[in-house]
């Protein structure tokens, strides 16, 4: 059930993202008084719709995107002469550029706002070994540990960290003689300590190092030893720091997305490999893979902050990737239409320099073979990744 909840949350978030993308095109086109005849979520047969003014709004059967139909988007479209003055192609170049870029802008704006909310409202997970909380007792089961609200009963043993005197705010420097600098290293060091055998732990407290002796415990059904300390500290920040965090994280995710795309050709052979998660193909995913990740995140539990943070980062990453990918100068994507628009404006500028009239709109029909080829290539790659996510999914650890 928890897995299904995660998938449903992801699907709803994806539909909202699609609606916002199309709303970007719709609102800017309306702002410039272009004629917009349809605003739909999905493709295929119409399930439900209504008309307000000149625009039909509705939902179609296949929830694989959405569209806004603006009159006269290309030179190939036949337009009633009475509607031509309000057609897309009859508007100034700068207005057409804004309408085309508005979809990706909405993805970027949504991602930035969610990152800001994550930093200011939920808290940023610090990547150091400072203790956020010490569990009062040893959980009886893995489920009790993952519940996020540990309840202790009489006779239940105190957690090793509590017995040893570890306090919230302590920063663990080393365990068993092994220095640790982040939670990944700390978690690995804790898990490999033998349960029931005392181990020396050095913490930084009040600016000085304090040596403590901890006897790790074990939990039924869980591999590795247990100390009873939080693995992350979620620290809320102020609005200014929230904007800075959103900006820097946005840039990092954008860079990682570009890197993943650049590695895609080399990753394709490993999509169906048994050890896919350990290869570059482990970082390549379709919508199905992202939905599976969301389900695994909710199923894993571990406290609401961990779950919400992970879900938001999945949704944020998808929006940044889709927004950037949509701006690539390839038809039929918005970026391809923007590239054509730029070509038209450059051509018009050169014509003016030579004292010649504006050549007008570019003939999109000449680009159809290229567009079909690009579209077929993208669909082919998408289907391969989709198949891999179905038959050889990547399991989060």
- Per the annotation, the verdict on 231 as an active-site residue is no
CA 196 to chain centre: 41
Q: Which of 22, 185, 256, 309 is catalytic?
A: 22
Q: Which tokens in the block code for residue 355?
A: 């004292």
Q: 76-102, pLDDT tens digit by residue?
A: 888 999 999 999 999 999 999 999 999
The mean-pLDDT minimum among 235-244, 273-282, 362-371 falls in 273-282
Q: Domain map of the chain by residue range?
A: 142-231
Q: What are phi and psi of 60, to 5 degrees?
A: -110, 170
Instruction: Examine the pLDDT at 263 and tell me if it is beyond 90.
Output: no
Q: How far apart are CA 67 and CA 140, in angstroms?
A: 52
Element (H, E) at 108: helix 93-117
Q: What are phi and psi of 2, to 5 degrees?
A: -60, -40
Q: 6-62, pLDDT tens digit by residue?
A: 899 999 999 999 999 999 999 999 999 999 999 998 889 999 999 999 999 999 988
Q: How far apart are CA 104 and CA 327, in angstroms?
A: 7
Average pLDDT over residues 254-263: 84
Q: Please check whether residue 217 is in contact with residue 225, taking contact to mean a CB–CB distance below 8 angstroms.
A: yes
Is residue 24 helix, strand or coil? helix
Q: Which tokens in the block code for residue 108?
A: 């970027």
Q: Which tokens in the block code for residue 258?
A: 């570009």
Token pair 């199905």 in the structure block, residue: 288
- Homologous superfamily of the 142-231 domain (CATH): PDZ domain (2.30.42.10)
Mean pLDDT over each residue of the chain, to the nearest integer: 87
Residue 46 DSSP class: E
Q: How far apart are CA 209 and CA 271, in angstroms?
A: 47
Q: Identify the band that residue 112 occupies on the pLDDT scale cut at 50, 70 and 90.
A: very high
Q: How far apart are CA 310 and CA 76, in angstroms?
A: 45
Is residue 36 helix, strand or coil? strand
Say whether pTM exceeds 0.95.
Answer: no
For 181-204, b/e burial (b = at least 16 CB within 10 A) is eebeebeebbeebeeeeebebbbe
Residue 128 DSSP class: S
Q: Please check whether residue 234 is in contact with residue 120, taking contact to mean a CB–CB distance below 8 angstroms.
A: no
Q: Which tokens in the block code for residue 190?
A: 């804790």
For 252-287, b/e burial (b = at least 16 CB within 10 A) is ebbeebeebeeebeebbebbeeeebbebbbbbbbbb
Instruction: Examine the pLDDT at 114 and tell me if it is beyond 80.
Output: yes
Q: How far apart are CA 303 and CA 122, in angstroms?
A: 12
Q: 297-346, pLDDT tens digit by residue?
A: 888 765 677 788 889 999 999 999 999 999 988 888 899 999 999 999 99
pLDDT at 270: 82
């Amino acid at each position: 059930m928890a897995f299904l909840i995660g998938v449903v949350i992801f699907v709803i978030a994806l539909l909202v993202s699609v609606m916002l993308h199309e709303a970007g095109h719709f609102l800017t086109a309306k702002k410039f008084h272009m004629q917009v005849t349809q605003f739909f979520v999905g493709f295929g047969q119409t399930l439900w719709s209504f008309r307000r003014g000149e625009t039909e709004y509705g939902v179609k059967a296949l929830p694989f995107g959405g569209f806004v139909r603006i009159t006269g988007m290309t030179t190939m479209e036949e337009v009633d002469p009475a509607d031509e003055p309000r057609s897309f192609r009859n508007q100034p170049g700068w207005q057409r550029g804004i309408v085309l870029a508005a979809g990706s802008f909405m993805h970027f704006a949504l991602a930035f706002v969610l990152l800001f909310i994550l930093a200011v409202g939920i808290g940023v997970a610090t990547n150091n070994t400072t203790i956020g909380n010490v569990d009062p007792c040893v959980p009886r089961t893995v489920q009790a540990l993952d519940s996020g609200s540990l309840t202790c009963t009489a006779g239940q043993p105190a957690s090793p960290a509590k017995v040893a005197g570890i306090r919230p705010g302590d920063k663990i420097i080393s365990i068993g003689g092994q220095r640790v600098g982040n939670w990944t290293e700390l978690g690995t060091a804790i898990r490999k300590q033998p349960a029931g055998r005392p181990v020396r732990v050095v913490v930084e407290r009040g600016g000085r190092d304090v040596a403590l002796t901890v006897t790790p415990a074990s939990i039924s059904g869980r591999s590795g030893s247990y100390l009873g300390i939080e693995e992350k500290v979620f620290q809320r920040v102020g609005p200014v720091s929230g904007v800075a965090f959103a900006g820097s994280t946005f840039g990092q995710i954008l860079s990682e997305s570009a890197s993943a795309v650049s590695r895609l050709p080399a990753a394709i052979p490993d999509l169906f490999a048994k050890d896919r998660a350990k290869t570059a193909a482990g970082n390549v995913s379709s919508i199905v893979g992202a939905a599976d990740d969301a389900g695994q995140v909710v199923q894993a539990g571990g406290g609401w902050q961990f779950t919400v943070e992970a879900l938001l980062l999945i949704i944020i990453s998808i929006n940044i990737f889709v927004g950037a990918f949509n701006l690539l100068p390839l038809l039929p994507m918005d970026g391809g239409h923007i590239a054509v628009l730029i070509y038209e404006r450059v051509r018009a500028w050169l014509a003016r320099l030579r004292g010649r009239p504006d050549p007008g709109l570019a003939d999109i029909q000449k680009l159809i073979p290229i567009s079909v080829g690009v579209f077929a290539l993208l669909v082919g790659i998408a289907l391969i990744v989709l198949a891999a996510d179905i038959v050889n999914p990547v399991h989060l650890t």
